Amino acid sequence: MNTPEITVKRREGTGKGAARRLRREGAVPAILYGGAAPQTIAVNPRDVLRIIHGHEGTTQLLSLKFDGDGGARMAIIRDMQFDPVTERLVHVDIQEVRADRAITVRVAVHPVGEAIGVRDTKGILNLVMHEIEVSCLPTNIPGRIDADVSNLAIGDVLAVRDLRPPEGVRIVNDPGQAVATVSPPMAEEVAPTAEAAAAVTPAEPEVLTERKPKEEAAPAEAEGKKAPAAPKKAEKEK
């Protein structure tokens, strides 16, 4: 296994002011712990990003060297902090490790195979855990933990106890914790028929207008007019 190298520098001063000056110079403040006492150091952010590129979720063993010092130490990157706005690396925690002492690290989970629930019944594979914690010697840190999902039908669950880590690697997570599942396919939307649409769509309400009864009198201006006189009977001829 190729062990990437990283060179660090010892730094003087702590606090926000010293950290800002260091970043203006193109470096990033860091802390190295795991030895007799924590040490304040500075690292090149490009070197850190180069090491972690393509290894998300997987802890790597590093060969750490101090600038001007020929000796190398075994170390791992424990934590990184990024600016929430610029997404630039702003701080790194590095842990020095020993070859004969087991450590607990996070390793990526990689699904292997095609689930029968996906292949035969169009189900959907859900990877519940993307990382898993393992305990091992620094030199035995695996690049990933394979999760064989080939036998998963719809509704099946692959648990931590079903994983097969490499020799010398012990999984720390709860054995019953779900790693992957296969869920049913999403139902396809079907256009409703005309009859179904009519049954669902409510009819528009009838608009009722006020109507006057036929017996209602004529408008008020008609009041006061005299009724026409009845015709007189013709007088009989004498």
Tell whether 192 is covered by a domain: no
Tell whether 212 is covered by a domain: no
pLDDT at residue 195, as a whole number = 55
Do 88 and 35 share a structural domain? Answer: yes
Work out how many domains the chain is built from and give that number.
2
Q: For residues 140 and 166, is the Cβ–Cβ distance under 8 A?
A: yes
Do 149 and 89 share a structural domain? Answer: no
Q: For residues 28 and 9, is the Cβ–Cβ distance under 8 A?
A: no
CATH code for position 12? 2.40.240.10
Q: For residues 113 and 149, is the Cβ–Cβ distance under 8 A?
A: yes
- Per-residue pLDDT tens for 45-72? 999 998 888 666 678 899 999 887 768 8
Cα distances from 203 to residues 9, 30, 66, 195, in angstroms, run 79, 71, 81, 13
Do 15 and 86 share a structural domain? Answer: yes
Please provide the average confidence, as pLDDT, over all residues in the chain. 81
Tell whether 30 is covered by a domain: yes
CATH code for position 140? 2.170.120.20
Three-state secondary structure call for residue 146: strand
Do 133 and 81 share a structural domain? Answer: no
Tell whether 155 is covered by a domain: yes
CA neighbor of 120 nearest in space, from 146, 148, 152: 152
Do 114 and 71 share a structural domain? Answer: no
User: Of 97, 119, 139, which closes a domain?
Assistant: 97
Do 78 and 137 share a structural domain? Answer: no
Do 76 and 148 share a structural domain? Answer: no
CA neighbor of 29 nearest in space, from 66, 63, 80, 75: 80
User: Of 75, 97, 119, which closes a domain?
Assistant: 97
Domain of residue 156: give its range.
Answer: 104-183
pLDDT at residue 223, as a whole number = 47
CA neighbor of 107 nearest in space, from 132, 136, 140: 132
Distance CA 195, CA 199 (A): 6
pLDDT by residue for the chain (238 residues), tens only, comes to: 578 899 998 887 677 777 778 788 888 999 999 877 889 999 999 999 988 886 666 788 999 998 877 688 899 999 999 989 999 999 999 999 999 999 999 999 999 999 999 999 999 999 999 999 999 999 999 989 999 999 999 999 999 999 999 999 999 999 999 999 999 987 554 455 555 445 444 545 444 444 444 444 444 444 444 444 544 444 444 4
Tell whether 171 is covered by a domain: yes
Do 127 and 53 share a structural domain? Answer: no
Do 33 and 116 share a structural domain? Answer: no
Exposure of 159 by Cβ count < 10 A (0-12 exposed, 13-18 middle, 19+ buried)?
middle
Tell whether 122 is covered by a domain: yes
Tell whether 113 is covered by a domain: yes
User: Of 46, 67, 97, which closes a domain?
Assistant: 97
Do 15 and 93 share a structural domain? Answer: yes
CA neighbor of 60 nearest in space, from 30, 34, 28, 94: 94
Q: What angle do CA 100, 105, 108 make, to 5 degrees?
A: 130
**108: its two tokens:** 């990526």
Do 13 and 67 share a structural domain? Answer: yes
**130: its two tokens:** 């993307």
Three-state secondary structure call for residue 32: strand
Tell whether 176 is covered by a domain: yes
Task: Find the radius of gyration of the CA atoms of the chain.
Answer: 41
